Amino acid sequence: MPDGDMLHTASLATPSLTTSLSASSDRAEPRAAPPSAPWQVISARKVAERQARLDAHPEWQLEAEAVPDAQVKDVSTITTLQLTARELDIVTKHDATALVEALRLRKFTAVEVLKAYCHAASIAQRVTNCLTEIFFDEGLERAAELDRHLEETGQVVGPLHGLPFSIKDHVKVKGHDTATGYISWAFKTVSDKDAVAVDILRRAGAVLYVKTANPQTLLSLETNNNIYGRTLNPFNRDLSPGGSSGGESALIALHGSPMGLGTDIGGSIRIPAAHAGLYGLKGSVARMPHAGLMGSHDGMDAILGALGPIATSARDLALFCRVMLQYEPWLIEPPLLEIPWKQNVIEGEGIQKKLCIAILWDDGVVRPHPPILDALKRTKNALLRAGHEVIDWEPVDHRYSWDLITKMYFLDGGEEYRETMRKDPPVPQSEWILAQVPNDGKPYDVADIFKINLEREAFRVKVATHWNATRSRTGTGRSVDAVLSPVAPTLAPPHDSTRWWGYTSYWNLMDFPAAVFPLGRFAPEDNRSLDVSADLPPVGQPRNPEERFISEQWNPETYKNAPISLQLIGRRLNEERVLGMLERVEEALRLAEGSGSGSDKNFSCVTL
C-alpha cells in the first residue's frame, strides 16, 4: 500500500521531471507516460504537468518565505497574506450571487475577477493539494471575450457572466483529462466534449479555469489518490477535507473559487461542504443534469450520483439550480424530469411561517460526537424561540439502509474497481470501502438485482410512510416539514479514519434533497457544556464496531478548529422548499445569536 503522506509531500514539491508543456500556454499536450509505466512514473509526470502550468504564472505563486511548514495546521487565512486589497475584496467579500451582479454592473471585469481567483487557487494548491487540471490561460481568454462582449453590447452573455467556476475532476471538460483519481486513466481520458452541466455553465457565461481533486474510485469520503496524493483540510491539515468532492471544498474554503461543481452518491457533496464550513446541496437525481461524468460503473442505475454545487452562501445554491434548470437540461438528457425552478418557493411562497422540524439526534448505529450534538441542541433552541415546532425523528432501519446501498454500490462484486486498480495500489480509504463489498465479493445475478431493486422501493415506501405518520405527533396538523440531521458522526476526521456514512447515504437511498449549512468552528478550549440528557437516552457500551471506533476517536484536541455543520433534508424533488426552509432555520439562528444565545461562532463540546 502506498504511503499517503509521502505521496502528499511529493505532490507539493516542484518536480524535476520535464514535459513538453510550453511555459507560456496551458493548452499544450503533455508527453504521456508509456502504457506499461509503473504507477509512480505516471504520477510523477502528471504532477510535473500540473506544476509547469502553475509555474507559467509565478506572480500567483506563494512566496517562499510565506510557505507554512508542516507543523502549521490552520492555513485558512493564508490567502490574505499575499493578495492585493482589490483581490481580497473580490474573493472574500462577494459570494457568487454578488459577483455576477458586480460583473454585470462593471464594478469588476471578468479578467480581474478570474486573476484574483487564479491567485488564490495557486496558493490553495500549495498548502492543501486540491487541484488537478489547470487551464488559467484558457480561462483568461474566455474572460477577455466576455469583457469585450459586455463593452460592445452592454449585455451580459448569461446569468453567470464572468463567474469563475471550478469543476470536480471526474466531470468532463472538453480538452482536459478526466483521470478521476485512477492511475490507469491518466493521460488517456482527455474529453472531446463537455458534460451537460459544464455545457450549461459555459452557455450561462461561467469561466472555467481548474479541475479539483477527487479520490481513487470516487467511492470515498477521503480525497486521496496515487496520481496527486492527499488533499488536506485548510482549517486543520491533520484532518480530511472530505470526499469525494474534497478538492472543491478545500479550494472554495481558501477563496480559490466562488462556487464549484460536485457530485454525491453517498455524501460526496455534503461531507466535503461540512468539513470545510461551506454550503452544499445534494438534489434529487431526476432534476439536475448528470450526463457526462467519468467513473466506475457507468450504466448502473440501481443507485445514481446527484450533481450539485458547493458554495459560500445558501443563495448561491439556489443560483446554481436556477441556472441549471433555466437551460432545460431535460431536452438533452431524457431521464430528467421537466420541473422548472420555482424561485418563488425559496422566497417563501407556500412555506408555512411555523415549521415543524424533526431532529435526528442518533441514527441508532453511531452516536455523533459532542460538538455535533451541541449544534443540534442549539439549533433546536433557536427554532423554538423563533416559534417553530421541533420533535424528535425516530430512526428507521439505518443499518439496513447501509447494507442495502452497499449492495447497490457493488452489484458486480467490486470487479470493475479491482480491474481498474490492477496496477494502482489501493490507498487506505479505497482499501476500507473495498473491504465492505458484500456477497463474498461475487457479482449479483439478474434475479438478485431484481430483488435488490424491490428492497430499495420497499425501503422508500417504509420511510415515506414513517414521515407521513409524524402528522399525529405535530401540532401543525401536517407531517414534519423537514428533518435536521448530522452530516456525519464526527467533525472532519483524521486522515484515513472515516468509518460511517449512514447519516448521508441514507438520504441518497431515498433520493431526498439535502442542504448542508455551517455553524461555526470547534474550539476545544471553550469549556462550556450543554445537558442533552432530555433529548438523548444513554447508549452505554458501544452498539457495534463502528460506534466503538468512532467513540474511541473522540478527543477535543484532535478536532481543533474543525467546522461544524448540519444538514436539512426535504422530500424528493423539493429542492426549493429545502432552501426556503433553510432560510427560516438560519433566520432563527441569527435571531438567537443576536439575543446572546443559540448559535455561537465557536461551539464547545457537551458533557454526555
Residue 219: all three cell numbers together? 467511492
Cα–Cα distance measured from residue 119 to residue 317, given in angstroms and rounded to the nearest whole number: 24
Give me the helices (H) in 386-488, please: 398-409, 415-420, 428-434, 446-469
CA dihedral 117, 122, 128, 130 (to 10 degrees): 70
Look-up of cell digits 420497499:
458
359 is in an annotated binding site: no
292 is in an annotated binding site: no
The residue from 122, 184, 240, 268 that is catalytic is 268
Residues 6+ apart with CB under 8 A from 303: 265, 405, 408, 409, 456, 508, 509
Residues in the chain, how many?
A: 608
The residue from 46, 115, 168, 282 that is catalytic is 168
- Nearest-5° angle of CA 164, CA 166, CA 171? 135
268 is in an annotated binding site: yes
Judge whether 168 counts as a catalytic residue: yes
Judge whether 560 counts as a catalytic residue: no
The residue from 122, 166, 184, 244 that is catalytic is 244
Write the CA distances from 547 to 27, 399, 499, 539, 554, integer angstroms: 49, 12, 9, 10, 11
Write the CA distances from 535 to 141, 373, 380, integer angstroms: 56, 10, 10
Query: Comparing C-alpha atoms, which of 181, 211, 558, 136 is closest to residue 371?
Result: 558
Judge whether 11 counts as a catalytic residue: no
Query: Comparing C-alpha atoms, which of 165, 257, 262 is closest to residue 204?
Result: 165
DSSP state of 37: -
DSSP state of 449: H
383 is in an annotated binding site: no
Secondary structure (H, E, C), 240-262? CCCCCCHHHHHHHHCCCCCEEEE
Decide: 531 and 377 in contact? Cβ < 8 Å: no
Secondary structure (H, E, C), 393-420? CCCCCHHHHHHHHHHHHCCCCCHHHHHH
Cα–Cα distance measured from residue 65 to residue 556, given in angstroms and rounded to the nearest whole number: 32
596 is in an annotated binding site: no
Cα–Cα distance measured from residue 374 to residue 379, given in angstroms and rounded to the nearest whole number: 9
Strands 164-168 and 207-212, how do they pair?
A: parallel
479 is in an annotated binding site: no
E-state strands within 172-242: 207-212, 224-225, 229-230
- Catalytic residue IDs: 168, 244, 268
Please state the residue numbers annotated as binding site for substrate: 218, 244, 265-268
